Structure formats: structure tokens, C-alpha cells
Structure 1
Amino acid sequence: MELPVIDLAPYLAIADAGNREGESTKRVSGLTELCHEVSRLLKETGALLVKDPRCTAEDNDRFIDMMEKYFEKPAEFKRLQERPFLHYQVGVTPEGVEVPRSLVDEEMQEKLRAMPKEHQPLIPKGPDPKWRYMWRVGPRPSKTRFQELNSEPVIPEGFPEWKETMDSWGYKMISAIEAVAEMAAIGFGLPKDAFTSLMKQGPHLLAPTGSDLKRYGQEGTVFAGYHYDLNFLTIHGRSRFPGLNIWLRNGQKIEVKVPIGCLLIQTGKQIEWLTAGECTAGMHEVVVTKRTIDAIKLASEQNRSLWRVSSTLFAHIASDAVLKPLGHFAESPLASKYPSICAGEFVEQELSVINLKGNKGES
């Protein structure tokens, strides 16, 4: 199964004109159907491919070029950007730190064993062998109860273009997420800003991962074990090496192919909370597949970098905002499973599980 691609251009044009003229995007025929399609895909597949004219293939390439250069640096250089005392929420997380939830969550392991063989994820042997860089994007609140989730950024020496490249790509991807969040809200019968108003000053993280295919390029290697994301929505630019598998709501496993110039959006745990489980956090893994091996061969022949970079951005609900089912979702029979909780508190609980806040555990 191929995921359909949603072109955001028609929505952006009308939303822009509507903002200028005070028109409601809800009233524009044809647009409502597009919004329903976005909410349907998020609900049924937990994933969405979008084309946003503001996010070009060239932007993605520029970002990946810089991150390849960074990840190719020696480990001792990269460790200078490590901030474990801030739960690794800024700077670099070395390989071997983050523990995939499927390694420590016994309930999840039972579910995995019950899956049909062809849809089972690969079970990791230990922590993820991937590096990750955390870069906050967007303004942070001047007053917050969750200071370590809103810390100052870390810039590596010798990368004068770092801040501009990270911010530029990060802001563009957040703009795409905001458009999708508005469309999903309309599609779900909520006010257009139901989600985006809660995202203001959220601890959004541009969090590219780097996986060394020279060292770990054997088929079946697990770079990111089966997990869900704890944030609101996750967005990725296209990686130069395939290997991302996602699970649809019906339990079917598919290897994602992101067309050039497109972005992949996935549902996280916070949107599940806000919709009382109407959307569920999408499960996924990153592994070395046959297609990854083919891409490694080609990159070697062309003398290109063998670091697999994913340009992942985690869009969050603001730390001091409350997570609870919104609007008509509060009437859902499942609403009691999603009690009110401060988003920052929720994030800290989740980070403990995945070994990024002192305890063993998720991703």
C-alpha cells in the first residue's frame, strides 16, 4: 500500500486569502472535503504524506548535507554537545542511550508476539545504535514550570551555518504541521485553531538522527526499535536511505516511500489524548531493509556519505498547557482513559520510560 499525497497548496492559498479578508476556510467548498481526508488518514493510518510549496527538496538537501558532515565527525567531538543533565532534550544523544519501548514494555511485547508473523516488528537486542541531535525551534515561554524542556540550544564548533540552517528547516516544517493541524481540526469538527492554539510556544524539537551504515549496515539491524512518539505530530523530510516501517491502525505493517519534495507526518501520543483515542499514536521502527542495502551500494559507488540522516521534527503541545479530550471528544466513551494532565508532566513521565530522564525505559 502507498500512502496518498495531500497537496497543502490549495488550503494555504485559501487560508491566506481568508486571513486577509476575514473569510472562514470552513465555508470554501472542496476544502472541507480535503480537511475530512486529512482527519480520516490521521485516524485510519496514523500517517500522512504532504507536499508543502514552502518546504522544497533543496531545503531538505541543504539540511541533510550539514547533518551528514556533523555525524561524520569523531565521537569525542560530538560528545562535547551532550547534555544528559537536561534529559538530552538539547544537544546530542549518543548511540546506545535511548532504549526503545518495545525492549522494556512487557504489555507491548505480548501484543507483538500476538501479531501475524509478517507484520511483527524486529525486536531490538539493546539500546538504539543511532545518534540524535536535539534543536529547539520557535519561541519558548518566559515563565514555565518545565525549564529543562525549554533549555537554550547547543551549537557545535566549526558550523557557522548551523543556527540558520536548523531554524530555517525547522520553521518550515512547523508551518507544514500547523497547516495539517488546522485541516485536521476542521475535519474532526473542532474550531480551526483547536490544536494550533495549544502548540504556541511548545517545546518543538528538530531532532535529526544519524545512523552509521558503514558500521551498522547489515540487513535486520534495528536503528529505532518499534515505538510511538510522545509528542503531538512528527514530521520528516525525505531520508536518502529507506528503512522506516509504520503500522496502520488495522495492524498492517508498511515500508514508507517518501516521494522527492514530500514530507511524512505521523500521529503522536498528544493528539491521541486530545481526540480521546480517535487518532492513536502511530507505531513505527527504523531498520536496515533490502531497499536500504541497495541504497548503501549506490551511495558507495557514488562516493556519498553512508550516514543515514532523518530530518525529524517533533511538534509539541506547550509544556504548561493541559492535555485533555477537546470539544465533542470529551463525550467519547473512551474519554476517561485520557484524564487531564499538564503536557510537560506527561512528557517527563514518557522520557523516564525511554531512559532519557534517569530511569530505564521508551521512544
Structure 2
Amino acid sequence: MAPGDPLPSFDLVPLVGLDLSDGVKSDAVRELCTGIADCLHETGCLIVRVPGVDEADNDAFLDLVESYFGQSDEAKMQDTRPQFSYQVGATPSGVETPRCLVDPDCQRTMADLPAGHKAAPVTGADVKWRYFWRVGPRPSDGKYKELNAEPVVPQGFPQWAAVMDSWGGKMLGAVQLVATAAAVGFGLEPDAITKLMAFGPHLLAPTGSDLAKHGALGTVLAGFHYDLNLLTIHGRSRFPGLHVWLRDGRRVPVRVPAGCLLLQAGRQLEWLTGGHVKAGWHEVVVTEATSEAAARASEAGRSLWRVSSTVFAHVASAQVLRPLGRFGGAGAAAAAYPPTEAGVQVQQELEAISLRKGGGGGGGGE
């Protein structure tokens, strides 16, 4: 990518309904898979267009979640489940702490960012609220109960489950397409990544930031961080503010075209590729564009809650994270990414960002 270029974009139409188990028989499909894998390696993020995932679905989801976050804090607190490390239901403002506040390695990463591409200073817990809604089936065993707890349905929203399941399912389906394509592009079996996702603790995880309270220019809504999961996918937010860092250190404002989705690599994908793909750093900050969008929304009498449209796709909790295929072996990658159950990795990450006590999951994303 040259400076000023938009994020790479891929149309996933050729992959829909395609069985790649017998190999790739089309040059166009092979080129698409290679392009997605190369993009994840070079940038850690990409934009995709997926048939059947359209703007109307995203709008219905945003309308619902704006109404939810617009309730009183007291009403939303009824939906919190701290005993499950906030991995279902609501997470209040001021709970999730950016890892860079306590992690020296993260602080060094921030310090090493090039001039003109620095992150906003991280000074405390994020001001955003979040809601975790489980997507897809969960395992029958109870080894990682807090990561696979039953969903929380808020009172007064009879359409909640239907809207959340529909949007979450479509977003997860898009992730599975990308994961299949990336595996092929990496030289792995087509199902090398998706089979690890079966019964994973996938979460539809909208965040909500009240721009009426936290709309001052430069306010950090979600501090500099990476996502702990496999792949994160976003629909369009109604307010700008998300920035991502490319592998070369450039900070890029995200603009997702209508009808498209943004994907970012998480820590679990970094693990599976032995560092060939790096978990992407990002932040959400109130910019002039955010303020302008908020002013337009206020004039039109619309909600001033900035809601993200996000799904965190995970490796299943009992699966073992280790570099796959050509990324494995006994070298530096194997030492840096030792065999670790995904549930243990998630619990450790949750402790680091103050969502889990006792020892200290979902996404830790926008």
C-alpha cells in the first residue's frame, strides 16, 4: 500500500458455496486466496464484500443497539455478569483497561511508532460500554464455563435475539469465508483454520460510546490495543473514529464503504501463523470527522451513541494454539508461540485488560 491508499478490498462472491476440499481449480480463486493471505501478512486488515450481508442488516442492528445503550446506566447494569468475566451481557464504561496501561511491551510498541503516526496516550480505562452476545453453538463440556456462558437477553427488547442472531450469524459466515481463503493462500488445508473455530466462543460485541458525554475532540473511546481473538469483523459505524496501524507502522483512518465489512487479524491468528500475520493494533478516538457526524446526528434528532458493529471470532476454547503447517517446526516461532489451549490464552488476556479477576474474553476490540 502506498501512503494515502485505502485499505485493500476483496469481493468474496467467488468463494460463496465453493468446496475447496479437493483443491483450487480456478486461477481466479487461487489469486483471490493468495491476495487475502498476503494482505493479512502485509497489513493485518482488509475490506470485503460478501453477498447477503448488506447495509439494511447493519442498520437494523445499529438501531436496536443504539436504543439499548440509550437507556439509563441503572437499567444496563442489570445485564452485567462480572462473575463470567463480562463475557456475556453488558460491560460498563470504565471497566475494560487498555493493555498498554500496564504492559511494558505494549508501551514500547507505542513509543516505537513513527512520528506522525503515534497513538493517543492511554491514561485509564476505556469510556465505552460493550455488550457481548454469543454467536453459534457452544461446547457441551464445562471446562471454560465463563467463556461459554448462556446469553443475557435484556428486558424490553423482544426483537433482541432475532436481530442479534441474524447479524452475528452473517458476520461469522463472512469470517469463515476469509479464514478458508487465507488458509489456502498460506499453503494450508482449506479447513485448517475453520475447523479450529467449531464451537468457539464467538461474540457479537457492539461497543457504545456516548458522544453527548464523551464527544470532545481527542477523547479516547478505546485505547491503543490489539484483539486477543482469531479474526475481528466490523460493519460500518455511523460515526468515524477507528484507526488501524499497518505492519509498517502507518496509522490509517478506517472508511468502510457501504455494503462492505472490515476484518482485522487477532492474536490467535498471529499464534497459528507463528507471527507471519501480526495482530493488528487499533484505537478509537474522537476526531473532527466524528464531531461533524455527531453535529449532523444532533440536528436530525438521532442518537449520539457511537455504536460499533463487531464480531469477535475465536478458536474453540479447548483447541490448542500452535503454529500450523509450514509455520511450525522447532525454530523461533515455536518458542515464541508454544502450544497453549485457546481458553487459557483468552483467560490470560482478560486478566491483562481487567475483565477477569483472580489470577485479573472476548475481544478487547473496538
TM-score with structure 2 setting the length = 0.95
AA aligned to 1:128 is D
Aligned to 1:123: 121
Q: Distance in 2 between the 1:27 and 1:345 partners?
A: 39
Deviations 1:224-265 (A, max 9, x none): 100000000000110000000100001111011011111000
Q: Distance in 2 between the 1:172 and 1:32 partners?
A: 24
Q: Distance in 1 between the 2:107 and 2:230 partners?
A: 24
Larger mean CA deviation between 99-108 and 171-180 belongs to: 99-108
Q: Distance in 2 between the 1:259 and 1:218 partners?
A: 26
2:356 counterpart of 1:357:
yes
2:297 counterpart of 1:293:
no
Q: Distance in 2 between the 1:235 and 1:187 partners?
A: 19
- Matches of residues 70-219 of structure 1 in structure 2 within 5 Å? 70-219=68-217
2:314 paired residue among 309, 313, 316 = 316
Larger mean CA deviation between 198-207 and 291-300 belongs to: 291-300
Asked whether the equivalents of residues 323 and 340 of structure 1 are also in contact (C-alpha less than 8 Å), the reply is yes
SS for the counterpart of 1:119 is coil
Aligned to 2:333: 334
AA aligned to 1:164 is A
Q: Percent identity among equivalent residues?
A: 53
Aligned to 1:5: 9
Aligned to 1:344: 343
Deviations 1:197-220 (A, max 9, x none): 000000001110000000000111
Name the structure with the higher helix share: 1
Q: Distance in 1 between the 2:105 and 2:196 partners?
A: 31
Q: Distance in 1 between the 2:109 and 2:158 partners?
A: 47
SS for the counterpart of 2:27 is coil
Q: Distance in 2 between the 1:7 and 1:24 partners?
A: 22
Q: Residue 327 and residue 144 in structure 1: after superposition, are their counterparts in 2 closer, same or farther (change >3 A)?
A: farther
SS for the counterpart of 1:226 is strand
Q: Distance in 2 between the 1:111 and 1:201 partners?
A: 33
Asked whether the equivalents of residues 140 and 202 of structure 1 are also in contact (C-alpha less than 8 Å), the reply is yes
Asked whether the equivalents of residues 134 and 204 of structure 2 are also in contact (C-alpha less than 8 Å), the reply is yes
Aligned to 1:235: 233
SS for the counterpart of 1:69 is helix
Deviations 1:286-307 (A, max 9, x none): 1101111111111112111100
Q: Distance in 2 between the 1:276 and 1:107 partners?
A: 18
2:247 paired residue among 227, 242, 249 = 249
Asked whether the equivalents of residues 144 and 319 of structure 1 are also in contact (C-alpha less than 8 Å), the reply is no
AA aligned to 1:67 is V
Q: Distance in 2 between the 1:111 and 1:63 partners?
A: 35
> 1:125 Cα shift?
2.1
Any stretches of 5+ residues in structure 1 without a counterpart?
Answer: none
AA aligned to 2:130 is R
Deviations 1:281-335 (A, max 9, x none): 0000011011111111111121111000001110000000000011111136422
Q: Residue 198 and residue 144 in structure 1: after superposition, are their counterparts in 2 closer, same or farther (change >3 A)?
A: farther
Q: Distance in 2 between the 1:342 and 1:116 partners?
A: 35
Larger mean CA deviation between 296-305 and 230-239 belongs to: 296-305
Q: Distance in 1 between the 2:120 and 2:227 partners?
A: 18
Q: Distance in 2 between the 1:54 and 1:106 partners?
A: 43
Asked whether the equivalents of residues 231 and 269 of structure 1 are also in contact (C-alpha less than 8 Å), the reply is yes
AA aligned to 2:109 is K
SS for the counterpart of 2:78 is helix
Asked whether the equivalents of residues 323 and 333 of structure 2 are also in contact (C-alpha less than 8 Å), the reply is no
TM-score with structure 1 setting the length = 0.96
Q: Distance in 2 between the 1:115 and 1:31 partners?
A: 36
Q: Distance in 2 between the 1:148 and 1:115 partners?
A: 35
SS for the counterpart of 1:117 is coil
Aligned to 1:265: 263
The 4+ residue runs of structure 1 with deviation greater than 3 A are none
SS for the counterpart of 1:293 is helix
Q: Distance in 1 between the 2:130 and 2:53 partners?
A: 22
